[in-house]
Amino acid sequence: MKIAIGADHAGYDLKEIVKPILQEKGYEFEDFGTNSTESTDYPDYAHPVANAVESGDCDFGVLICGTGNGVAITANKHQKIRAGLCWTPEIASLIRQHNDANVLCIPSRFISTEVALEILDTFLKTEFEGGRHGRRIGKMACM
């Protein structure tokens, strides 16, 4: 499995913690930046991550910013992206099971590193349930 990962300045430190953990667990990843805590614009990282998932170059995306909202809103502008903002492992599980989310958005300023890592682990290990949820996913796209 290959993960696209990106963050703005508020998410940079957490992104740098996540990368070796992904590697330890056997995941490939592509880092779309940023590369420092210097102020930057989250769409500059959210769009490339969303493009990588949308194109199939990566299986899932992980985006990190201060609230997680900016990257989620940006990623969800892409037709084939279902990005979900998570602040608990339970929500991570549900966005995979019920929404078939393919991009995880983490609010780095509002959760601990430990919780962020639990969320990531849950997201990557949880399968989509299908069934009635598949019908609902089919209705998400704009016509």
Active site (catalytic) residues: 65, 98
Q: Which two tokens stand for residue 34?
A: 């940023």
Angle between helices 113-125 and 89-97 (to 10 degrees): 20
What's the rounded Cα separation, in Å, for the pair 18 and 123?
13
Query: Residue 114: enclosing H or E segment and its boundaries?
Result: helix 113-125
Largest Cα–Cα distance in the chain?
45
The 3-state DSSP class for residue 31 equals strand
